[in-house]
Amino acid sequence: MKVLVLGGGGREHALAWRLKKSDSVSDVYVCPGNPGCASVATCVKPPITTIEGFLSVARETGADLTVVGPEGPLVDGVVDAFEANGLLVFGPSRAAAQLEGSKIFSKRFMERAGIPTARFVSTDDVGEARKVLDGFSYPVVVKADGLAAGKGVVICQDRAEAETTLEGMFTGALVGPAGAKVVIEEFLTGAEASFIGLSDGERVLPLEPSQDHKTIYANDQGPNTGGMGAYSDSRILGAAQRDFVMREVMERTIAQMKAEGMPFKGFLYAGLMMTARGPMVLEFNVRLGDPETQALLHRMDCDLGALLMEAARGRVKPELLAFREEPSVCVVLAAHGYPGKVRTGDAIEGIGEAEARGATVFHAGTKMERGRLVTSGGRVLGVTHSGETLQEAIANAYRASDEIRFDGMQVRRDIGAKGLKRW
Ligand code: AMP
Ligand code: GLY
């Protein structure tokens, strides 16, 4: 069968790479893709970057199945449009995508469903927001309601910072219209984990756990990014924690969404904090995480095409899902200036050498310019490797990433170290 992937980052390169290895898949298309995707798939530029554009690419390529990578088109209703046109697609509807599109929707949903999450208040009024702060201690977390490309969450150390943040949210200075409404919530402490389930709207299968590294500098210093690296290791959650998360978060969410008339079909990502009170949900995403996907799909040991096709048709099949036990690590190489103003156009060298060391190098922000591969975005590459132990996987990933060079390259040197501390 032919599969179309929508998106053009590291996550989509990893999806295309794993789909290309699937026995059930003959051709992979990525729209718009990137130079990395082009080595395993056919990249197709959409005639227009709207849902209509994606529809026309799906028709033109004759795709039997479309898999949606990023949240934007999901929240805009790309799945509804595909289904209305009789095209098979894997991802949540616009209604179900509110779990990521609106933090207020998501928090209220968790409250209704009895899913463990931080205590919160939501408001769109600055006076009320100030009053609400009286009921919280510090640090306190302020979150923009809408999509903000990873910049919508601010951990405020004291009241002055909270007030400045609220003002920035309501005036639009911080994240534009996404900050017109906010969630103010209790600060939780513990180890973080990313847990992703694959659902057909009724049942949900667990993928392996992983962990992202959000800040630009090692030891969680500096501003947040889209993610500077991730590792996947089955031990991130113990058996009891895994059962708890499946029962109290994943299955509960899928059942409640169905009961409320907006069944969730797609990848359901829970950002978790392992608190002293047990695992709690920090946020839901309605798609695969980036860069978690690069690490996860590196470990995957099954026909992803067949798995997603069955799920899209409404029947997830547990027997189609398998992972290798070996942990994996994805080290992100970021451009000069990231996560602030990014410089582009720096020539990239050494990918072949990194691959000769056994790594898979996923492209995120690259483009071809006069025959040379150059940087074109904040996160440039995701160098991904596995190992018999997590320690080995880390060493393998860094040995490979050390082969790659471009001016201004930024690398966090502690990807996976949190895992080594866990055990
Ligand atoms: P997000 O952009 O929604 O993924 O959130 C970014 C990060 O903010 C999360 O990965 C956590 O590290 C942190 N965070 C979000 N909510 C809380 C909370 N209630 N307590 C502590 N940290 C939080
Ligand atoms: N890595 C976090 C995310 O994809 O939102």
Q: Treating both helix axes as pointing N-terminal to C-terminal, what angle do 159-171 and 126-133 enclose, rounded to 10 degrees?
A: 160
Alpha-carbon gap, residue 107 to 283, rounded angstroms: 8
Say which residues have a Cβ less than 8 Å from residue 394's Cβ, sequence separation at least 6.
Answer: 231, 329, 387, 415, 416, 417, 420
DSSP-assigned letter for residue 176? G
Alpha-carbon gap, residue 339 to 262, rounded angstroms: 35
Summary count for the chain: helices (H), strands (E)? 15, 23
Rounded to the nearest angstrom, the distance between the alpha carbon of 131 and the centre of ligand 2 is 32
N- to C-terminal Cα separation, the chain: 42
State both tokens at 282.
């920090």
Closest ligand by atom to 9 CA: 2
Q: Is 287 close to ligand 1, i.e. is its CB under 6 Å away?
A: no
State both tokens at 150.
């990873």
Beta bridge partners of 369: 372
Q: Is 285 close to ligand 2, i.e. is its CB under 6 Å away?
A: yes
- Residues 222-235: pLDDT tens digits? 988 999 999 999 99
Rounded to the nearest angstrom, the distance between the alpha carbon of 307 and the centre of ligand 1 is 31
Alpha-carbon gap, residue 147 to 39, rounded angstroms: 31
| Closest Cα to atom 3 of ligand 2 | 289
Q: Is 292 close to ligand 2, i.e. is its CB under 6 Å away?
A: yes
Alpha-carbon gap, residue 303 to 88, rounded angstroms: 18
Alpha-carbon gap, residue 226 to 174, rounded angstroms: 16
Q: Which residue has the tokens 């899913």?
A: 115
Long-range contacts of 320-325 (CB under 8 A, 24+ apart): 321/198, 321/205, 321/207, 323/207, 323/208, 323/234, 323/296, 323/299, 324/299, 324/300, 324/386, 325/234
**Best probe residue, ligand 2, of 269, 281, 379 (max atoms within 8 Å of C-beta):** 269
**Best probe residue, ligand 2, of 290, 330, 415 (max atoms within 8 Å of C-beta):** 290
List strand residue ranges (DSSP E) for 172-241, in order.
182-186, 191-200, 204-206, 210-212, 215-217, 221-224, 229-232
Q: Is 188 close to ligand 1, i.e. is its CB under 6 Å away?
A: yes
Cβ neighbours around 191 below 10 Å, total:
16
β 2-7/27-32 pair status: parallel
DSSP-assigned letter for residue 408? T
Rounded to the nearest angstrom, the distance between the alpha carbon of 376 and the centre of ligand 1 is 27
Contact 22, 6 (CB under 8 A): no
Rounded to the nearest angstrom, the distance between the alpha carbon of 140 and the centre of ligand 2 is 21
Q: Which residue has the tokens 């910072």?
A: 161
State both tokens at 129.
């927001």
Rounded to the nearest angstrom, the distance between the alpha carbon of 9 and the centre of ligand 2 is 12
Contact 354, 21 (CB under 8 A): no
Beta bridge partners of 201: none
Per-residue pLDDT tens, the chain, 423 aa: give them: 999 999 999 999 999 999 999 999 999 999 999 999 999 999 999 988 899 999 999 999 999 999 999 999 999 999 999 999 999 999 999 999 999 999 999 999 999 999 999 999 999 999 999 999 999 999 999 999 999 987 899 999 999 999 999 999 999 999 999 999 999 999 999 999 999 999 999 999 999 999 999 999 999 999 889 999 999 999 999 999 999 999 999 999 999 999 999 999 999 999 999 999 999 999 999 999 999 999 999 999 999 999 999 999 999 999 999 999 999 999 999 999 999 999 999 999 999 999 999 999 999 999 999 999 999 999 999 999 999 999 999 999 999 999 999 999 999 999 999 999 887
Q: Which of 162, 180, 163 is nearest to 171 (CA)?
A: 180
Alpha-carbon gap, residue 79 to 56, rounded angstroms: 14
Rounded to the nearest angstrom, the distance between the alpha carbon of 230 and the centre of ligand 2 is 10
Rounded to the nearest angstrom, the distance between the alpha carbon of 286 and the centre of ligand 2 is 10
Rounded to the nearest angstrom, the distance between the alpha carbon of 3 and the centre of ligand 1 is 34
Q: Is 100 close to ligand 1, i.e. is its CB under 6 Å away?
A: no
State both tokens at 89.
């697609």
List strand residue ranges (DSSP E) for 13-81, in order.
27-32, 42-43, 65-68
List strand residue ranges (DSSP E) for 264-319, in order.
265-275, 278-285
Helices (H), 62-218: 71-75, 78-84, 98-101, 103-113, 126-133, 159-171
State both tokens at 364.
């995120």
Contact 240, 223 (CB under 8 A): no
Q: Is 350 close to ligand 1, i.e. is its CB under 6 Å away?
A: no
Q: Rounded to 5 degrees, what angle do the CA atoms 280, 220, 161 make?
A: 80
Closest ligand by atom to 332 CA: 2
Alpha-carbon gap, residue 79 to 88, rounded angstroms: 9
Alpha-carbon gap, residue 248 to 151, rounded angstroms: 28
pLDDT of residue 151: 83
Q: Is 141 close to ligand 1, i.e. is its CB under 6 Å away?
A: yes
| Closest Cα to atom 5 of ligand 2 | 289
- Residues 181-193: pLDDT tens digits? 999 999 999 999 9
Alpha-carbon gap, residue 73 to 91, rounded angstroms: 10
Alpha-carbon gap, residue 266 to 90, rounded angstroms: 6
For residues 365-385, one letter each, b for 16 or more C-beta atoms within 10 angstroms of the residue's C-beta and e for the rest, the string is bbeeeeeebbbbbbbbbbbbb
The domains of the chain, with CATH numbers, are 2-93 (3.40.50.20), 125-180 (3.30.1490), 189-320 (3.30.470.20), 328-422 (3.90.600.10)
